[in-house]
Amino acid sequence: MKRNPQVTGNVGLYYTCYRMSRMGWNVMPTARNARGIDIVAYDRNASRFLGIQVKALSKRDPVPLGGDPGKIMGDYWVIVREVYAEPEAFILLPEEVRALAHRGEKDGRVSYWLQPAAYDREEFREAWGRMKSAPDPCV
């Protein structure tokens, strides 16, 4: 059965929101299918903000990055795979995504991909701590 890509994206987006909320972040998904970040997160007193890009996958697939890795944005990238089974997340910095990007060319068109072997590493797997919990000013 072929999965609806929009639903797959939603599952990954809201899974990421859930995980970040548990860390103390206030999270807001942005407009879907718009260029840019997918989540705006801020701490309790709105003194620290993060922009998060989410890529959701139903299985262990490459992540499409588009035609220009220079346009990769956000403070963090979260790749969530196996969204319909047991979600597994990989947290990367944009510069890591750019450095690990694979260049492909087909019919004269260039595209960039993040191959599974590039993101499926222990240093990125479930590395939510890279974002650090939002500080609680009441503590």
> Could you count the other beta carbons within 10 Å of the beta carbon of residue 129?
9
Predicted confidence band at 118 (pLDDT cuts at 50, 70, 90)? very high
Question: Looking at residue 98, what is its pLDDT?
Answer: 96
> CA 19 to CA 126: how far, in whole Å?
10
> CA 86 to CA 82: how far, in whole Å?
6
Burial zone of 54 (CB within 10 Å; 0-12 exposed, 13-18 middle, 19+ buried): buried
In this prediction, residues 33-42 reach a mean pLDDT of 87
Cβ–Cβ under 8 Å, residues 23 and 128 = yes
Question: Looking at residue 139, what is its pLDDT?
Answer: 46
Tens of pLDDT, residue by residue over 85-112, are 999 999 999 999 999 999 999 999 999 9
pTM above 0.85, yes or no: yes
Query: Side-chain half-sphere of 120: how many Cα atoms within 13 Å?
Result: 12
The percent of residues in the chain predicted with pLDDT above 90, rounded, is 78
Q: Which domains does the chain have, with CATH numbers?
A: 5-130 (3.40.1350.10)
| Both structure tokens of 21 | 């909320």
